[in-house]
Amino acid sequence: MRRIEPILELKKLSKSFGEENVLDEIDLTVYEGEIIGYIGPNGAGKSTTVKILLGLIEEYEGNVRIFGEDISKGNHTYKRRIGYVPETADLYENLTAYEYLTFIGELYGLEGEEVDRKAKELVKLFGIEEVYHSRISSFSKGMKQKVLIISSMIHNPDLLFLDEPLSGLDANSVMIVKEILAKLAAEGKTIFYSSHIMEVVEKISHRIVLLANGKLLADGSFEELKGQNMDGTLEEIFNQLTGFDEHQNIAEKFVQIVQEG
């Protein structure tokens, strides 16, 4: 029988910035075909984890293996098998969608003509084929997000890191992207999905990993988390696990202050 190797393995991963311990001995093993909902309050350390996995932060403690290889060993070929949708896009706004996508595709080692062919078909499926040759600076937020999503997947990566990938997308496009993610996972791709939209994380994730103050507070399927905590939505479980029950108070005070004077 084939032994299933982990796609991603973190052992006691720690990272501090000065005095601040941002990640504290994170242990996490992720397998092929899993959609991991990677969630946590603002500042929990999610982006820092992803930056370490992408090789953008090179100083950390602990061990990180991707596709079975220790990424600190300096072999960067694993990056070709990774796709990334960052939270804030550094799209090259002066390029057209065509120029940007062929540029990214070529960085990943694809032939220019091949990327152009794929990109044309993908932008068409997202309904933005008419602006393929327009500058990205003229695009709406959702149109830019579509280009980012395409650029993260055009090289058919095995591991995807998505940070708020649905940001700015309309309801129809959200349905398409959710379906794309489920299909990619069914094809054996592994997806690391960071978002604050709990309803979506609850629906699409096979496994939910909750980080707070640099520590893993929970790791399991939504059903498992429900079993270990109160029954309810992921939003309620999130609030419970992070010890937050102040939303009504805060909202009330906020509205009072807004109405003062």
Ligand X SMILES: Nc1ncnc2c1ncn2[C@@H]1O[C@H](COP(=O)(O)OP(=O)(O)OP(=O)(O)O)[C@@H](O)[C@H]1O
Residues that bind ligand X (CB under 6 A): 17, 22, 40, 42-48
Nearer to ligand X, 43 or 68 (CB): 43
- What six digits make up the tokens of 246? 């102040």
CB of 196 to ligand X, least distance (A): 7
- What six digits make up the tokens of 25? 């001995």
**Cα(126)–Cα(129) distance, integer angstroms:** 8
CB of 2 to ligand X, least distance (A): 35
CB of 126 to ligand X, least distance (A): 25
**Cα(134)–Cα(95) distance, integer angstroms:** 8
Nearer to ligand X, 43 or 112 (CB): 43
Nearer to ligand X, 17 or 76 (CB): 17
Nearer to ligand X, 22 or 162 (CB): 22
- Is residue 16 classed as helix, strand or coil in its secondary structure? strand
CB of 113 to ligand X, least distance (A): 38
